[in-house]
Amino acid sequence: MASVSYRTYLQACRSVSRRSLARTLTTAPSTPSTSQTSASSSSVSTPAPTLESPPPNTHFKITLRRSAISLGDKIKGTLKALGIHRRFQTVYFPFSPEVAGKILRVKELVEVENVPTHRVMNKQQQRQARKATRGYTVVGSRDGFMRI
């Protein structure tokens, strides 16, 4: 009985993946034929919605979450090679096998996120993003406070 349900589960998974593959193939833009272009030129045409794909992830965003105080010198050296000196410090590296190997050595201590090129920030940009806005804002007034 269990093997029958497992078999039906596998068939359902295959059919879902086939449907999603067919859906992606049908949403791909196609070139209009000559008969459609002559008919659409006389009528008002609306542009087809374009599916813009997000930019590809090209960098690792590495943030140190746990301290390496009581750990060995090799792990501390790996963090130093990554350029991480203190907790909650964030560094960016382009994808490479060397960086991936270093991340695997300290995977229990760091948080890694894949980001595209336009989200990569240098130290000055990170510092500017952390700063509070200048001036002040009035959150509430005391005019109606304790008025009886």
Helix 97-105 to helix 73-82 angle (10° resolution) is 140
pLDDT digits (tens, 9 = 90+) for 6-59: 556 555 555 544 444 444 444 445 444 444 444 444 555 666 666 788 889 999
114 closest CA partner among 93, 83, 85, 89: 93
| Domains observed in the chain | 57-130 (3.30.1390.20)
Give 139's pLDDT tier (boundaries 50, 70, 90).
Answer: confident
Question: What pLDDT is stored for residue 15 in this prediction?
Answer: 53
Beta bridge partners of 144: none
